[in-house]
Amino acid sequence: MSGATLVADGDRPREGGPDRKAIDVAVGVLLATNGDFLLTSRPEGKVYAGYWEFPGGKLEAGETVEQALRRELHEEIGIVIAAAEPWRVELVDYPHALVRLSFCKVRAWTGQLEMREGQRFAWATLPVAQSPVLPGALPVLDWLAAERGFPGATCA
Ligand SMILES: Nc1nc2c([nH]c(=O)n2[C@@H]2O[C@H](COP(=O)(O)OP(=O)(O)OP(=O)(O)O)[C@@H](O)[C@H]2O)c(=O)[nH]1
């Protein structure tokens, strides 16, 4: 997992000193009724372009995780989500940023998927065939695998 370190919440960040502030990110794990989950590729021009991730983005000032997720998923993939179910929070220390990822499960939405930033998308199953997966998205595959009693999260 080059270039990123998963750190337990409360651990001191690896770079930038103790004052390095985490950037809050809201991330959606969209679950279809058959259990498939949505992966999208990071658009050109962003760090880790082309890597597979779960859709989402940074919180804007004053937003809650759910508000940010609702806005980001509408802006980026064209859907309006129903409830966002808070799931797990993970701190990831990248060279470019320290991010706090708040993952939410989303089981219902309206609208058709429309990749508004030129991303690719895939309804994925375990083991995940899409590659490469963003380091900060890999643990989610393990969590899903654990929930489902599935032995291997990726094909690698
Ligand atoms: N959306 C998303 N971001 C993730 C995941 N895992 C992970 O480490 N991240 C990190 O969280 C941050 C999200 O930033 P972003 O650039 O996608 O967010 P954004 O759309 O608001 O960015 P912008 O400033 O370009 O508009 C990135 O540093 C990204 O590497 C994931 O599964 N989904």
Dist. CA 102–CA 64, nearest whole Å:
10
How many domains does the chain fold into? 1
Ligand 1 centroid to Cα of residue 54, in Å, is 9
For atom 8 of ligand 1, the residue with the nearest CA is 136
Please tell me the total number of residues recorded for the chain in this structure: 156
Q: What angle do CA 24, 27, 32 make, to 5 degrees?
A: 170
Q: What is the pLDDT of residue 17?
A: 57
CATH of the domain at 92: 3.90.79.10
Identify the domain containing residue 134 by its residue range.
5-148
For atom 1 of ligand 1, the residue with the nearest CA is 56
**Which amino acid would we find at residue 156?**
A
Average pLDDT for runs of 10 along the chain of length 156? 63 56 98 98 96 98 98 98 98 96 98 97 97 98 93 74
Q: What is the pLDDT of residue 153?
A: 73
